[in-house]
Amino acid sequence: MSERPLVVIIGPTASGKSSLAMRLAEQYGGEIISADSRAIYKDLDIGTAKPSQADQALVKHWGLDIVEPGDRFTAADFKQYANQKIKEIRSRNKTPFLVGGSGMYVDAVTLDYTFSGGYDQAGRDRLESMTTEQLQLYCSKNNITIPENDQNKRYLIRAIERKNVVGNKRNKPIENCIIVGITTDRQVLRQRIEQRAAQLFDQGMIEEAIAAGQKYGWDNEAMTGNIYKLVRQYTSDDITHQQLVSSFITLDWRLAKRQLTWMKRNKFINWLSLAEAELYLNRELASE
RNA sequence: GCUGGAAUCGUGUAGUGGCAAUCACAUCAGACUGUAAAUCUGACGCCUUUCGGCUUCGCAGGUUCGAGUCCUGCUUCCAGCA
């Protein structure tokens, strides 16, 4: 019997990829690796629309709750983690599903990114204390190529840390993987985002966010996700509840668009509607 | 009914009589390999690929070389007084 394929399902937030993956994994004996840069954090469950406990009981999920907000976990860490899990899942003779909206996480795995130039925290702290202009100056003095977007402080810092060493990636996906992207009509996606927002608020998203903010503080990367920065403003009375709700939908919508902008660059994604994707993957998996 | 204030891009705003006119939000497009739900860039009255052209600041007039800005009338809204 040949090795089980890696099934990759990507798409913007609220496109329905998670529930599709659930159905398929349940039917064909799979385990799901979440490729979501926010769901990796503990205690951010509702706000990141994590799979429910019931779903997690039915199908084994990975990539959830691996670190606490405030801890550092990068795309490079994810690649290593996911590859390890894929190997383990296959060794159990089950089908690995890589599912999520963090395009860079998915590409890191499927295009086998070679990350270059790590960082040390002391150096990072020093660079972060510099202004954008100082960083640009540092680059030109040290023959470091300034990123196309020279106003982006994070990219300037990374350019300095990488010292002109550019990471590699494969020019085609890794072997034995099926990559499907979920397309959704613009209007429909917008509606889905609105409907899901209503559900998340009902489930107590605000209360969860407040609790997380109190426990971990608001000033860490995990808390820059859509709902958290809004709840922070809400708790300090800068915005009303109504503004909170509508801004959340706006941020989610923009997130979806940015996700698609990234994913569009990957030429190896088989873009299908939710229904088509389900048919297609059912055929593929049934023939295994 | 009287008095005062207001009317500028989808929204909220800036605008000493002198360049389509500030800023924010929203919108749209884009970049992005170790924070990626992050971070950052561009467009945003209309036409034009560019140069450039055209029409604009409630409506109608007026003053002026020149009006979003000053004057008159009107309309609508807000506040105070009746």
pLDDT tens track for A47-94: 999 999 999 999 999 999 999 999 999 999 999 999 999 999 999 999
Maximum CA pair distance of chain A? 61
Both tokens assigned to A8? 């990759």
Give the CA A148 to C1' B41 distance in Å: 9
Distance of CA A216 to the CA centre of its chain: 21
Structural domain spans, chain A = 6-114+173-286, 121-162
Tens-place pLDDT, residues A109-161: 999 999 977 778 888 899 999 999 999 999 999 999 998 889 999 999 999 99
C-alpha to C-alpha distance for A136 and A272, rounded to whole angstroms: 43
Rounded Cα–Cα distance for residues A50 and A105 (Å)? 17
Question: What's the pLDDT tens digit per position in A172-196?
Answer: 999 999 999 999 999 999 999 999 9
Bases along strand B below 7 A from a protein CB:
26-41
Q: List pLDDT tens digits, range A203-213.
A: 999 999 999 99
Q: Which nucleotide is nearest to A246 (CA to C1')?
A: B26
Per-residue pLDDT, A148: 86
Q: How far, in Å, is the CA of A66 from the C1' of nucleotide B80?
A: 63
Question: A182 CA, B63 C1': separation in Å?
Answer: 65
pLDDT of res. A1: 53
The β-bridge partners of A31 are: A96
The residue length of chain A stands at 288
Residue entry with tokens 């971990």: A216
Which nt has its C1' nearest the CA of A114?
A: B33
Where are the extended beta strands (E) located within chain A? 6-10, 30-34, 61-62, 95-100, 177-183, 270-273
Name the CATH architecture for the domain at A6-114+173-286: 3-Layer(aba) Sandwich (3.40)
Handedness of CA A183, A32, A46, A208 (dihedral sign): negative
Residue that the structure tokens 């202004």 belong to:
A131
Task: Quote the DSSP letter at residue A164.
Answer: T
